[in-house]
Structures are given as structure tokens and as C-alpha cells.
Amino acid sequence: MNAAGVRMVVTRARSRGTGASLQWGGEKAAPLRSGEAAAEGRKSHGPVKRQRKTRRLSVAYEASEGEKGEGPERLQAPSWEPQDWRQQLDNIRTMRSGKDAPVDQLGAEHCFDPSASPKVRRYQVLLSLMLSSQTKDQVTAGAMQRLRARGLTVDSILQMDDSTLGALIYPVGFWRSKVKYIKQTSEILQQHYGGDIPASVAELVALPGVGPKMAHLAMAVAWGTVSGIAVDTHVHRIANRLRWTKKATRSPEDTRRALEEWLPRELWREINGLLVGFGQQTCLPVHPRCQACLNRALCPAARGL
């Protein structure tokens, strides 16, 4: 064989190299396996015959028309979800459309000074959440108003004596313990975060007096990040009454984990305020107003009364 012939064979062999990807009808074929690649290399030294019969090449993943553009990993539907939960949720939205529950005017997102710097606002959000534990929204809002009148910053709290701080936050629940926690947390924030609050749930719950519900709400209100479902006593109670958990849960944290297993993530931000207000106005802890509830025919707890 002359030199020109040798160059021609080599060129053809390279064009069919093992690293090449095949295209067929606009689809990319799967790479050849090592054994097939070796066989192809041996065949390339002989005469190459064109295969006229068309055949479909197998591909690793083929998306349906509705899935194109979403990538290989498809969204997995939850293995379990409560019966009628979408209708129940729509009914609660209807009952809450007036936005006239205490949480709607006095929740954590309404207790900070909007004219303060972002860092101070975040600190005030965290303090309002710490005060809100085992306390009605009206009482928390009153305490925050008194604190803000004194200039509510990390430095002002650290310079304030315990008796003055206690007098300002009284009568929030467990106010003596909260005085201690607020002072300890404020000192940590000053020393380790430059007076700001942490931007992660793990760091927030490590602060004295800060629990998971507060941490998730702080992430949502102060940082604008949805890190999880904030579950308080209202959300815990209503989720169990509606059977929104696969089995009965004993604590708000158990309820949070159970809800996050099936509730679509785009609803995580909304669900806390929606259910808290519903629990304040209709689904009360004692003597719930089932006759006025749009879910009375769908709620397992109401049917059991």
C-alpha cells in the first residue's frame, strides 16, 4: 500500500475513534463500551461498508415531551400524602383571606423597626421570636414596642441591667429565663457575628433560647431564605387534626419532619402564617369552631366530635 493509501486508512480510523459520540435523529447515543471500542478499532483496518438499513440507537435517558428541559433527574412524587389535603388547604386559604388574625398584624415580620439598618432589623426579628415562645402575639408586640422605644440593638441590650430588661419584656411567658437567654445570645452575636445574627439554622439553634421554629422563621423573615417549615403549637395541633402526618406526632419537631416529607416545598413559607392564624381564629385548642369551618366535612377530627 502506498503512503497516500496509508494516510487514507488512518484518517478513516480516527474519524471512527472510540471517544466520538454518535448522533441519530438529533439524539446523542451512549458511549461505546470498552469491548465494543476494541472491536471497532480492529474493523477499521479493513474495508468499510456503509450500513444502509436504519436502526434506532438506544440512549441512556429519553425525556417525554412534558419533561424536556428538566434534565435526567425527574421530580419524585411523595410516596404518601394526606387525603383531600389540597381541598383542605384551599378552604383554609378562603377562611384566612381577610388576613385579620393577630399573627397578621403582630407577627415577627411586623415587630422590627423598618427604619433601622438591615443588621439591626435582623437582630430585632430574632429577639421578637425569642420573646414569642409561649406568649400571645399581642403580648410579644407590646414588649417589642417598649424595647424599641429604648433603642433596641445588641449594644443597648448588653448595657441594660437585668431588672430593667425584665421590666420591659414582662409579662411574656418565662420572662426571667428570657432575660438570661437574651443577654447570653446578644453577647455571642457581638463577639462572634459582629452584632448580626447567624445565617444558618444550625448556628441559630446553637444560640441560648432559640429553638427550631424560631430558627426557620428567622431564616425566612430576616434572611429571606426558606430553610424548613416553622411549626409551633398551632401548626402541630392542626396538622394532627387534619391527619396531615402519616401517624400522630408528639412534638412540633416531629410534625415538622413529617410535613416536610410530603408537602411541596413551594408551600413551606406560606404554611406557618396560614395555619397559625387559622388556629387563632377557628381551629382553637379548646372548643374549636368546627361548625364555622369549611373543612368540617373533610376533617377527621371534626367528624369524630
What phi and psi, each to the nearest 5 degrees, are found at residue 234? -65, -50
Residue 160, all three cell numbers:
441594660
Q: How far apart are the first and last CA of the chain?
A: 96
What are the E-state strand segments in the chain? 23-24, 27-28
Strand pairing partners for 27?
Answer: 24
User: In whole angstroms, what is the distance from residue 299 CA to residue 305 CA?
Assistant: 10
**Of the candidates 238, 186, 175, the residue with the CA atom closest to the CA atom of residue 208:** 186
Catalytic residue among 53, 183, 213, 247: 213
Burial of 304 (0-12, 13-18, 19+ CB in 10 A): exposed
**HEC string of 78-141?**
CCCCCCCHHHHHHHHHHHCCCCCCHHHHHCHHHCCCCCCCHHHHHHHHHHHHHHHCCCCHHHHH
Which residues have CB under 8 Å from 233's CB, separation 6+? Answer: 252, 279, 285
User: In whole angstroms, what is the distance from residue 90 CA to residue 110 CA?
Assistant: 25
Cα dihedral value 232, 234, 240, 246, nearest 10: -30
Annotation marks residue 213 as catalytic:
yes
Cα dihedral value 157, 163, 167, 171, nearest 10: 100
**No. of helices (H) and no. of strands (E), the chain:** 15, 2
What phi and psi, each to the nearest 5 degrees, are found at residue 23? -115, 135
Q: Which active-site residues does the annotation give?
A: 213
